[in-house]
């Protein structure tokens, strides 16, 4: 009498063990890369906030030393923007050598100054954690007559009410096309279009857009923010009130006076 052949059963068991190991390895790899991506996003976001805070420290130091915010730009006799606030702020970051090499007797893109564009200091005006190009700044002011960056005028805190503390001074700009020495920033209209994701021609917004307020608070501005709220956040006009959720200090970004009950 022949003994039963058990090879198929053994082969089937080995096959199950093999595929079980393969599937387990695949699951572990997926978990690892998921954890790595989450960790990187957490790490990058925290570092983006840290860079904004560093920029805010430079602004605070400048204000304490001079009594006012630097102008958005220095203009020539004809009112043409010549030099950016980013250049004026260099000494506050200990970059005195670079500041000394900048020639204020020629425009930012003059034969001497344009060579300095490629020497943009790291971790000052560029952010390694979002898209950026060599010599292009990721940090821009929001400029205009009703902002703290009114052209070549210097902003003195004592000249206005207290709203300046809550307005957004600096905006993080993804994939910027603005040279760091260039006296160009974003108007309120351009900033709103960028945040709401309506201006994909120049800049594509990130899932998170960070801003720095006058009190040096860093806030995440959602794409769902209404134009009314954003105008209030950028403007020093006391009549444009920043809305907060009832009983909190959290900004109601989706607020609209048109949707309020009379």
Beta carbons of 44 and 36 less than 8 angstroms apart: no
Q: Is 145 part of a structural domain of the chain? A: yes
Q: Is 146 part of a structural domain of the chain? A: yes
Domain interval for residue 148: 51-259
* Residues β-bridged to residue 171: 140, 211
What is the CB neighbour count within 10 angstroms for residue 63? 17
Q: Is 40 part of a structural domain of the chain? A: no
Written in H, E and C, the secondary structure of 148-194 is CECCCCCECHHHCCHHHHCCEEEEECCCCCCECCCCCCEEHHHHHHH
- pLDDT, mean over the chain: 82
Number of independent structural domains in the chain = 1
Q: Is 104 part of a structural domain of the chain? A: yes
Give the mean model confidence (pLDDT) for residues 86-90.
96
Residue 157: its pLDDT value, please? 63
Q: Is 5 part of a structural domain of the chain? A: no
Q: Higher model confidence: residue 39 or residue 218? A: 218
Q: Is 97 part of a structural domain of the chain? A: yes
How sure is the predictor about 42, in pLDDT bands with cuts at 50, 70 and 90?
very low
Residue 248: its pLDDT value, please? 86
Residue 12 burial (C-beta neighbours within 10 Å; 0-12, 13-18, 19+): exposed
State both tokens at 47: 């570092």
pLDDT tens digits for range 199-208: 555 556 566 7
Residue 39: its pLDDT value, please? 36
Q: Is 14 part of a structural domain of the chain? A: no
Q: Is 88 part of a structural domain of the chain? A: yes
């Amino acid at each position: 009498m022949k003994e039963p052949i058990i090879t198929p059963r053994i082969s089937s068991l080995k096959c199950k063990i093999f595929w079980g190991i393969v599937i387990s390895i695949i699951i572990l790899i997926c978990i690892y890369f998921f954890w790595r991506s989450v960790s990187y996003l957490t790490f990058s976001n925290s570092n983006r906030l840290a860079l904004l805070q560093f920029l805010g420290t430079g602004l605070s130091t400048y204000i304490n030393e001079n009594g006012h915010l630097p102008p958005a730009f220095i203009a020539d006799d004809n009112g043409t923007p010549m030099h950016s606030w980013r250049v004026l702020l260099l000494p506050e970051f200990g970059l005195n050598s670079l500041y000394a090499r900048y020639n204020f007797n020629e425009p930012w893109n003059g034969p001497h100054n344009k060579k300095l564009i490629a020497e943009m200091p790291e971790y000052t005006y560029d952010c390694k954690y979002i898209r950026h190009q060599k010599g292009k700044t990721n940090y821009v002011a929001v400029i205009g007559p009703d902002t703290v960056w009114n052209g070549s005028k210097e902003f003195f805190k004592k000249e206005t009410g207290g709203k300046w503390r809550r307005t957004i001074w600096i905006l993080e700009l993804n994939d910027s096309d603005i040279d760091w020495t260039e006296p160009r920033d974003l108007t309120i209209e351009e900033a709103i279009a960028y945040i709401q994701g309506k201006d994909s021609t120049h800049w594509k917004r990130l899932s998170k857009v960070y801003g720095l307020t006058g009190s040096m608070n860093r806030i995440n501005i959602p794409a769902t923010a209404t134009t009314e709220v954003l105008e209030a956040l950028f403007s020093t006009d006391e009549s444009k009130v920043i809305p907060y959720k009832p009983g909190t200090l959290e900004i109601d970004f989706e607020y609209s006076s048109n949707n309020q009950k009379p």
